[in-house]
A and B are shown apart, each in its own frame.
Chain A
């Protein structure tokens, strides 16, 4: 028994070191002033971060990524929650069909999708190539599976059908019942799906590079370009980038456990 515990501790530690070491090294490099022949850096500096956060190109790139992701996310939240709700409530026969099409983005590799999109949208009737809208569209499609699953699970968890019926019998129109009863109760699920989608979008490189690479520098493309120029600076970018994703994941986890706790309480009370 004691041996086993020792072994598992060893395995976990090894895995932890394996995962953390590169990150730690990157972090060290991002705050190193001079580091060539020693195990640890000779001197430290925060200059790379200062340079990064004062670089207008970096800030613009962050702004662009946020803009594109936000547009895609908002469009997805609004359209998907209504679509999934309507199908769940009134067209249950279409549910399998909807589930099948929402899985397509998983099946199509990013490169294939990007090349296809460029082909379709570079000549009439709709020309989107080179504009941010082609990326917004691609991002919208990319996050559909996550949004769909999240929203559908929330609807099931709260038994949205029964809640709608109860609200309608009490005199609420369908619209009021949705806005006052269903929407507030699936909001937790929607926020979690949106955050998950967001963390996927800011990590996405293939689509961004292929579709708008030259004309619209997002954080991903900026990072790619900096990698070839300055190791310290690109390390700082990676760490900044990682911190953002970490914060989002932490927020998701927090919201997730809050959501689960509510469910648990419900079960305990019943």
Chain B
């Protein structure tokens, strides 16, 4: 039996159904991500686990114990919010100590545990600062320490890094991951950022319209999206129908919808000598309609008849970039066309 088990969770607000019989399992010490666009039900599911919302039907059990009917105080979960939710009237120390005081621990014990937590999140020296004196990143570290110090069974994180700038977000991602590994803490992380989900998760649950669209390891989800929603959401895949592909490439394809990753397609100058028949793969012609440099990759938009393709190319100095308006040939390796369900 899994450590966290959610069975047939159903929830609606008024007439709109937010969770449609969601079932999922999380193993002890695992970091899983609920990933999806806003309004997909991921935050609601997290709030149901925390006890801040109640399920209309279904059960949530942790470590074999059904917690679905318990108030938040008795669930022994920790939670980190996007807005930090630090108590403005308390210092860093008192914020972190709050949960321990509620557990009525002895003062020495509280001091020892709080100091340990402060060290864990690298905030030594900030004990007597107030939240408004800290940066966003520091505030979120305090919130993390406050949630961890009570040693919860699971830690729930509701888009904890979304309000932070890119650099701090990256460094907190890796800190969070290493803390999670050190403490072997079971964590459920909610985000709408697929890159973030890929970076930190053991497993990802992609959610859409209150359902789990696909679950699996990050590399698995990225490499083989099950349906069009996942393909589009997870990695700006090009989604084309078999008919489109036949029309553009002149080759026969099985009917259905195909997903093609932007980085597997190759661009070749239109005049370059090659024989379409001998070179394995699908070939099509197009015009570069735009090019953006995104750091290590160049992202091209290529117009081929009425279809726009997104193609990524590694941004290396010896390779000259194609200009807008240039005629080019595109090669798609046949194996890279994933047939979607």
Contact = CB atoms under 8 A, between A and B. Distances in A.
Interface residues of B, number: 32
B73 A171 contact: yes
A188 to B, nearest CB: 10
B85 A159 contact: yes
Given A169-B77, A262-B132, A184 B89 contact: yes
A262 B131 CA distance: 10
Interface stretch (A24-32, A160-168, A212-220): A160-168
Interface string B264-286: 00000000000000000000000
20 contacts: A162-B85, A165-B72, A165-B85, A166-B85, A166-B87, A167-B98, A168-B71, A169-B51, A169-B52, A169-B73, A169-B75, A169-B77, A169-B78, A170-B98, A171-B102, A171-B150, A172-B73, A185-B89, A266-B132, A269-B139
A101 to B, nearest CB: 26
A165 B86 CA distance: 11
Contact of B136 (A163, A166, A185, A269): A269
A170 B102 contact: yes
B153 to A, nearest CB: 12
A166 B81 contact: yes
Contacts of A159: 83, 85
Contacts of B77: 169
Contacts of B307: none
Given A165-B72, A169-B50, 14 more contacts: A163-B85, A166-B85, A169-B51, A169-B72, A169-B79, A170-B98, A170-B146, A171-B73, A172-B102, A173-B73, A180-B98, A185-B89, A269-B133, A270-B136
B29 interface: no
Interface in A25-64: none
Nearest to B99: A170
A265 B133 contact: yes
Contacts of A269: 132-136, 139
Contacts, number: 74
A166 B73 contact: no
A176 B85 contact: no
A9 B152 CA distance: 65
B103 interface: yes
Nearest to B98: A170
B102 A176 contact: yes
B198 to A, nearest CB: 27
A168 B53 CA distance: 13
B81 A168 contact: no
Contacts of B132: 262, 265-266, 269
Interface of A: 158-159, 162-163, 165-173, 176, 180-181, 184-185, 262, 265-266, 269-270
Interface string B34-53: 00000000000000001110
B112 to A, nearest CB: 18
A21 to B, nearest CB: 44
Contacts of A163: 85, 87
Contact of A167 (B50, B87, B103): B87
Nearest to B102: A171
A168 B85 contact: no
A177 to B, nearest CB: 9
A166 B133 contact: no
B125 interface: no
Interface in B66-92: 71-73, 75, 77-79, 81, 83, 85-89
Contacts of B146: 170
A173 B71 CA distance: 10
B187 to A, nearest CB: 15
The 10 closest A-B pairs by CB, nearest first: A171-B102, A170-B99, A166-B85, A266-B132, A184-B89, A162-B85, A265-B132, A168-B72, A169-B79, A169-B72
A166 B102 CA distance: 13
A165 B136 contact: no
Interface string B171-198: 0000000000000000000000000000
Contact of B52 (A158, A165, A173): A165
A156 to B, nearest CB: 13
Nearest to A157: B88
Contacts of B134: 269
Residue with the greatest number of chain B CB neighbours at <10 A, chosen from A168, A173, A184: A168
A266 B132 CA distance: 4
Most central of B85, B86, B134 by chain A CB within 10 Å: B85
A265 B131 CA distance: 10
Greatest chain B CB density within 10 A among A162, A171, A172 is at A171
A20 B222 CA distance: 75
Contact of B88 (A158, A169, A170): A158
A181 B73 CA distance: 15
Contacts of A167: 87, 98
Contacts of A171: 73, 99, 102-103, 150
A185 B131 CA distance: 13
A147 to B, nearest CB: 21
A262 B89 CA distance: 11
Interface in B156-182: 163
Contacts of A262: 88, 132
A65 B102 CA distance: 43
B304 to A, nearest CB: 45
Q: Pick the most buried of A158, A162, A166: most chain B CB atoms within 10 A of its CB.
A: A166
Given A169-B72, A270-B136, A185 B99 contact: no
